[in-house]
Amino acid sequence: MFEWVETIFSSLPQGVQTMTFIIMKIVAITLPLMLCVAYLTYAERKVISYMQVRLGPNRVGPKGWLQPIADAVKLMFKEIIIPTGSNKYLFLISPVLAIAPALAAWAVIPFDDGMALADVNAGLLYVLAVMSVGVYGVIIAGWSSNSKYALLGAMRSAAQIVSYEIAMGFALVGVLLAAGSLNLGDIVRAQSGSVVHWFWLPLFPLFIIYFIAGLAETNRAPFDVSEGESEIVAGFHVEYSGMAFAVFFLAEYANMILISALASIMFLGGWLSPLQGILPESVLAVPVLGDVLGSGIHWLLLKTAFILFFFLWMRATFPRYRYDQIMRLGWKVFIPITIVWLLVVGLLVLAEVGPWWNAV
Amino acid sequence: MNFETPNIIPAIPEITLLSLACLILVVDLFVKQENRIITYLLSQASLLIVFLLTLFTFTTETQFTFSNTFVRDSMSDVLKLGVYISVFIVFLYAKDYLRQRDMFKGEFYVLGLFGVLGMMILISAHNLLTIYLGLELLSLSMYAMVAMQRNSKAGSEAAMKYFVLGAIASGMLLYGMSMIYGVTGSLDLAEISQKVAEVSDQKLTIFGMVFLIVGIAFKLGAVPFHMWVPDVYHGAPTSVTLYIASAPKIAAFAMLMRLLVDGLSSLQPHWQDILIILAIASMGIGNIVAIAQGNLKRMLAYSAISHVGFLLLGVLTGQQAGYAASMFYVLSYVLMSLGSFGMIVLLSRKGFEADNLADYKGLNERSPWAAFMMLIFMLSMAGVPPFLGFWAKFAVLKEVVAADSLLWLAVVAVIFSIIGAFYYLRMIKLMYFDKPEDTQAITADLDLKVALSTNSLMVLGLGLLPGGLMALCIAAIAH
Amino acid sequence: MGIEQFIFYFFALVMVASATMVITVRNPVQAALFLVLTFFSCAIIWMVLEAEFLAIVLVLVYVGAVMVLFLFVVMMLDINIDRMREGFIRYLPFGVLVGLLMAGMLISVVGSVNFGLDKFAEPARHAADYNNTRELGLVLYTKYVYPFEIAAVILLVAIVAAIALTLRRRPTTKYQKPEEQIAVKRDDRIRLVSMNSEKKK
Residue range B306-314: average pLDDT? 91
Task: Count Cα neighbours of B105 within 13 Å in the Cβ-side half-sphere.
Answer: 19
pLDDT digits 0-9 by tens, B427-470: 889 888 888 877 777 777 888 888 889 989 988 888 888 888 88
Q: Per-residue pLDDT for B200 more than 60? A: yes
- B72 DSSP β-pair partners: B63
Three-state secondary structure call for residue A107? helix
Average the pLDDT over each of A232-246, A261-275, B384-398, C148-162 and give the range with the smallest value.
Answer: A232-246
Note whether A143 contacts C76, CB cutoff 8 Å: no
B337 near B458, Cβ under 8 Å?
A: no
C-alpha torsion A159→A162→A164→A169, nearest 10: -170
C-alpha distance from C161 to closest chain B C-alpha (Å): 5
For residue B2, the model assigns a pLDDT of 59
Q: Which residues of B379-405 are buried (b: 16+ CB within 10 A; e: fewer)?
A: bbbbbbeebbbbbbbbbbbebbeebee
Q: Do C160 and B25 touch (CB under 8 A)?
A: yes
Of A116-130, A331-345, B239-253, the poorest mean pLDDT is in: A116-130
Pick the closest to residue B244 from B364, B162, B331, B170 (CA basis).
B162
Decide if pLDDT at A360 tops 60.
no
pLDDT band at A228 (very low <50, low <70, confident <90, very high): low
* C-alpha–C-alpha distance, residues B189 and A26, integer Å: 51
B78 pLDDT higher than 80:
yes
The single-letter code of the amino acid at A154 is: A
Residue A123's pLDDT is 85
Weakest-pLDDT range from A148-157, B284-293, B338-347, B375-384: A148-157
Interface of chain B toward chain C, CB-CB under 8 angstroms: 1, 3, 6, 11, 18, 22, 25, 66-67, 69-70, 105, 107, 110-111, 114, 117, 121, 127, 129-130, 133-134, 136-137, 140-141, 143-144, 147-148, 150, 179, 182, 201, 203-204, 207
Neighbour-count burial of B348, counting CB atoms closer than 10 A to its CB (0-12 exposed, 13-18 middle, 19+ buried): buried
Q: What is the pLDDT of residues B5-46, one digit of tens each?
A: 788 888 899 999 999 999 999 999 898 888 888 999 999 999
Q: CA–CA separation, C176 vs B274, rounded Å?
A: 60
The stretch A287-292 carries a mean pLDDT of 76
C153 against A10, higher pLDDT: C153
Buried b vs exposed e over A217-226: b needs ≥16 C-beta within 10 Å?
bbbbbbbbbb
User: Which chain B residues have a beta carbon less than 8 Å from that of C151?
Assistant: 133
Residue B280 pLDDT level (bands cut at 50, 70, 90)? very high
Residue C83: what pLDDT? Answer: 66
Rounded distance between C-alpha atoms, residue B106 and residue B38, angstroms = 9
Name the residue among C33, C59, C69 with its Cβ closest to that of A162: C69
Q: How far apart are CA B459 and CA C3, in angstroms?
A: 70
- Residue B138: pLDDT above 70? yes
Does the beta carbon of C146 lie under 8 angstroms from any beta carbon of chain B?
yes
pLDDT digits (tens, 9 = 90+) for A179-225: 888 888 888 888 887 778 888 888 889 999 999 998 888 888 788 77
Query: Is the CB of residue B190 less than 8 Å from the CB of residue B126?
Result: yes
What does the domain layout of chain B look like in residue ranges?
24-54+63-478
Indicate whether B1 pLDDT > 60.
Answer: no
User: pLDDT exceeding 70 applies to what percent of chain B?
Assistant: 99
Mean per-residue pLDDT for B186-207?
A: 86
Q: Is C107 exposed, middle or buried (0-12, 13-18, 19+ CB in 10 A)?
A: exposed
What's the fold here for domain C1-85? Four Helix Bundle (Hemerythrin (Met), subunit A) (1.20.120)
Q: Is the dihedral of CA A156, A159, A165, A168 positive or negative?
A: negative
Instruction: Return the sign of the alpha-carbon dihedral for residues A165, A170, A175, A180.
Output: positive
CB contact under 8 A, C56 and A325: no
Chain-chain contact of B150 with C161 (C-beta, under 8 angstroms): no
Q: How confident is the model at residue B3 (pLDDT cuts 50, 70, 90)?
A: low
Bridge partners, residue B64, by sequence: B71
* pLDDT of res. C85: 67
- Is residue B234 within 8 A of residue B157, CB to CB? The reply is no
**pLDDT confidence tier of residue B334, bands split at 50, 70 and 90:** very high
* Residue B306 contacts residue B418 (beta carbons within 8 Å): no
Domain-wise residue ranges, chain C: 1-85, 131-168
Q: With 70 as the cut, is the pLDDT of residue A305 above it?
A: yes
Q: Residue B207: what pLDDT?
A: 87
Q: Which segments of B82-237 are extended strands (E)?
A: none
Mutate to test the interface with C, among A93, A132, A144 (most CBs of C within 10 A): A132
Residue type, A225: V
Residue C123's pLDDT is: 75
Which subunits have 3 or more CB–CB pairs within 8 Å of chain B?
A: C
Predicted confidence band at B351 (pLDDT cuts at 50, 70, 90)? confident
- Residues B219-234: pLDDT tens digits? 888 988 888 999 999 9
Q: How far apart are CA A150 and CA A143, in angstroms?
A: 7
